[in-house]
Structure formats: structure tokens, C-alpha cells
Amino acid sequence: MSRRALIIGCGVAGPAVALFLRRAGWEPVIYEATAQPDEYHGLFLNLATNGLEVLASLGLRDRLLADAHPCPHMVMWSGRGKRLGRVPNGPAGQPERGSIVVRRAELHRALREEALRQEIPVEFGARLDSVTETERGVEARFANGRCAEGDLLVGADGINSSTRGVIDPRAPQPAYTGLVGLGGYARAEGLQATPDTQHFVFGRHSFFGYLVREDGEVYWFANVTRPEPARGSTRATTSEQWLQLLRELHADDPVPVPQILAGNRSELRAYPIYDLVHVPRWSRGRIVAVGDAVHGTSPSVGQGASLALEDAIVLAKCLRDLPDHHDACTAYQRLRQPRAERMVGYAQEINKHKRISTNPLAVRMRDAVVPLFLRKAASDTTNRWIYDYRIDWNTPADTTMATA
């Protein structure tokens, strides 16, 4: 007899969990709070080797590679135009296994369309309102009045997860990193393509990253150091106001940063960047959470999507191999939490360098320390734990963790 899983969230983790659970014999249904897919949401993201391995298990890796920007290398610059160093964006010494940059909407679309192809229902406009465990399983009620019953509820509802609070009302809240993220797409006359590389600039007043595709389109982002904005205040600032602020902050930064901002062609939305570490409980009864809901990491290590994909396959394997849902969820947290929390901590270390100080001495110290940090990060023994992590669907769940 098949079991029914209610999946809350149709971003990355949600559809991936649904697809793996379908393979394990479950009947998943996906519920998404937004009324329709947001083609802007999140702009673009890094997909690392470990995440691509999970997508390969789903048969989706080649689709994502088709329009991706390969980025096996990252080059760092100071605000004065000095090259600080280069680090691999993937396993050291293996550029052929480097990360890629893709539009977030395309990753969401690929996962969502595969779910629909496998006849997994996806209901939009279904914001979770409450969850109740029953004698037969779990009942979810949504703000649109819909009610659904299942054997298990999986919260893949992001860093502001309501599922996390259902599991543990005392669960920690996301912590502000001190950074506000913005980004967009641009075209600037005379820019050369940056094949296999993404560039990062420790600007004098803000951190900036960019890549230039072969057709001349620029993917760019900025991390602005600011006090934590009041809830909703970033939306009150218009796209034009944000762009003007960024042009002022980066006016004295090296080429091509000012030129990219001058050639911006997209609407800007600001996102205060939060992280979430050490959530004690990832499940309760028939309710379990995955991805950013239990280990939100800032974009600084480019691992958010990949970690969510790893969670999806591991949870599904545990539910496949351990008939008791409590044992399966316990095993899932045991297998995933140490790695996820280590990744969040690593991102926090990087964020220390990205936050901009107005103290000239602090800037000089940063520019002296960053090359040392980069040389360490470039070593094979340092980064293998990040990228050389494979999860074989065909092996039992108790051997899921396989780091090189």
C-alpha cells in the first residue's frame, strides 16, 4: 500500500523530495504558497558538483548544463584593482568537475516540470496555515481553505519555515548576517566574456560579484553592508533607488564594476541575508523539515541548493529503508546535520570578509589576510569535504554519507 506525503514548498528541496519519494513508492503532493512561479525569484545561483550529482540521479543534470555558465574558477580582487587570488569552485585540481551558475527559475522549472511529468500534483496558492497529527497520519490546513491528509508532511518551505515552528516552537530563528543582497543582469560595451570564471570584488563600500557570458550578458550581484532592515522596508525602496545607491557605493571601484551597474537591465529587489544554524529538532512525529528550513546558509559558499538536493535524496532513502517514520527521520537528521552545520559555519567565516569596514586599517588588514585565506581554500585537502560528497540511491540509507 502506497503512502501519501504532503510536501510544503515547490522551490528546490520540495520537488526533489517528491521525485525521490515517488521512486521509493510514495504518493507525494506538492503545495506552494505563491500563486504562480516567480521567474525573477533569486536571479541565479551556484550549483556545485555535489548538487549536480543529485540532479544526475534525477536525470536532470544535462538539462541544467545546457544553458549554464561553467564556473570552475573564482578570482578575487581588492577595491583598488589588485588581484588577491584565485580559488577553485569545485574539487581542487579538477576543473572538469567545477560548479556552474544557472538561473534559479530554470532550476525550479526543471524540477517542477519533471514532477508534473511524473504526475506528481503541484498546487499553487496553498499557504500552510496549520498542521495536526491524527490517528491515521497528519492533516494540513491551508490559508485558501484547502485541507489535505497524508502519512507524512515534509516542510521544504525555506528559511522562514512555518514547519520548523510546528516541529519545535522553541526552534532558533534565522540570524541576520549584516548583508543585504541585490543583483541583476546587464550589458556593458566592450566587456570580454569570462569563460569558466566568476569574479568577486571586495569594493571600498560593498562586495560585488559578476560573470560575463559568451553573448555579452552579465550576471552580477552586490552584498551591501547595512544594519538589519525593518521588516518589509527593503520593498519600500524602489528598484531605481537601489540602483542609484549601488552606483554611488561602487563609483570608485575598479573596472568593470561601475560599467556593469551603468548597463543594468533588470529590476532590482533587495534581500536581507540570513543564516540558520543548529536547529535541535528536524522532525516531530510525522512532520519533518529539509533544506533552508533547518540549515539556512548564506550564498557565500554557493551550496544552498546543493545542500537542499542532498537532503532530498537522503530523507527519501531513509524513508525507503526504515519502515518506521520516526526511525527514518532520526536517521536522516543524524546523517545530514553535521555536514549542513559545518557548511553554514564555513559561510559565516567568509561573510566576515565580505562585510565592509569604513576603517582604512581594517580594509588593509582584510586585503592582507584574504590572500592567505584563498591559498588555504585552494588546497585539495581543504575543499574536498565540500565537493567530493556522493550519495548513491542504490545503497542502504545507513551508508548514505560518503565523503572523500
pLDDT at residue 126 in the model:
97
Tell me how far CA of residue 80 lies from CA of 141, 180, 215, 298, 372, in angstroms. 55, 23, 28, 26, 18
**Least confident span in 48-57, 202-211, 328-337, 370-379:** 370-379
Segment 145-187, tens digit of pLDDT: 999 999 999 999 999 999 999 999 999 999 999 999 999 999 9
Would you say residue 281 lies in a domain? yes
Same domain as 257, residue 114: no
Which cell numbers in the block locate residue 160? 522562514
pLDDT band at residue 404 using 50, 70 and 90 as cut-offs:
very low
Would you say residue 378 lies in a domain? yes
Segment 6-19, tens digit of pLDDT: 999 999 999 999 99
Would you say residue 294 lies in a domain? yes
Taking CB atoms within 8 Å and a gap of at least 24, the contacts of 134-138 are: 137/4, 137/286, 138/6, 138/285, 138/286, 138/287
pLDDT at residue 116 in the model:
98
pLDDT band at residue 378 using 50, 70 and 90 as cut-offs:
low
Would you say residue 217 lies in a domain? yes
pLDDT band at residue 42 using 50, 70 and 90 as cut-offs:
low
pLDDT at residue 367 in the model:
75
Same domain as 106, residue 141: yes
pLDDT band at residue 380 using 50, 70 and 90 as cut-offs:
low
Same domain as 300, residue 168: yes
Which cell numbers in the block locate residue 395? 545503497
> Which ranges in 8-159 belong to alpha helices (H)?
13-23, 49-57, 61-66, 104-117
The mean per-residue pLDDT over the stretch 84-103 comes to 90
Same domain as 283, residue 252: no
The mean per-residue pLDDT over the stretch 242-246 comes to 97
Task: Return mean pLDDT, the chain.
Answer: 92
pLDDT at residue 40 in the model:
60
Same domain as 20, residue 138: yes
Domain that holds residue 35: 4-174+276-399
Segment 196-232, tens digit of pLDDT: 999 999 998 999 999 999 999 999 999 999 999 988 7
Same domain as 372, residue 254: no
Same domain as 82, residue 32: yes
Would you say residue 42 lies in a domain? yes
Query: How many separate domains does the chain show?
Result: 2
Which cell numbers in the block locate residue 26? 510514495
The mean per-residue pLDDT over the stretch 360-389 comes to 75
Instruction: Kindly report the CATH number assigned to the domain that includes residue 225.
Output: 3.30.9.30
Among the candidates 253, 274, 295, a domain finishes at: 274
Asked if residue 332 has pLDDT above 60, the reply is: yes
User: What is the DSSP secondary structure assignment for residue 389, as one 8-state letter?
Assistant: B
pLDDT at residue 377 in the model:
66
Instruction: Kindly report the CATH number assigned to the domain that includes residue 367.
Output: 3.50.50.60
Same domain as 266, residue 188: yes
Same domain as 351, residue 293: yes
Among the candidates 246, 274, 302, a domain finishes at: 274
Would you say residue 254 lies in a domain? yes
Closest CA to 7 of 288, 276, 334: 288
- Give me the percent of the chain exceeding a pLDDT of 90: 77
Check residues 377 and 106 and name the one with the higher pLDDT: 106
pLDDT at residue 358 in the model:
62
Same domain as 392, residue 319: yes
The mean per-residue pLDDT over the stretch 22-40 comes to 91
pLDDT at residue 37 in the model:
85
pLDDT band at residue 364 using 50, 70 and 90 as cut-offs:
confident
Segment 283-300, tens digit of pLDDT: 999 999 999 999 999 998
Asked if residue 337 has pLDDT above 70, the reply is: yes
Among the candidates 274, 297, 330, a domain finishes at: 274
| Cβ atoms < 10 Å from Cβ of 16 | 32
Segment 180-195, tens digit of pLDDT: 999 999 999 999 999 9
Would you say residue 237 lies in a domain? yes
Would you say residue 404 lies in a domain? no
pLDDT at residue 319 in the model:
97
Same domain as 144, residue 77: yes
Same domain as 249, residue 338: no
Asked if residue 402 has pLDDT above 60, the reply is: no
pLDDT at residue 91 in the model:
86
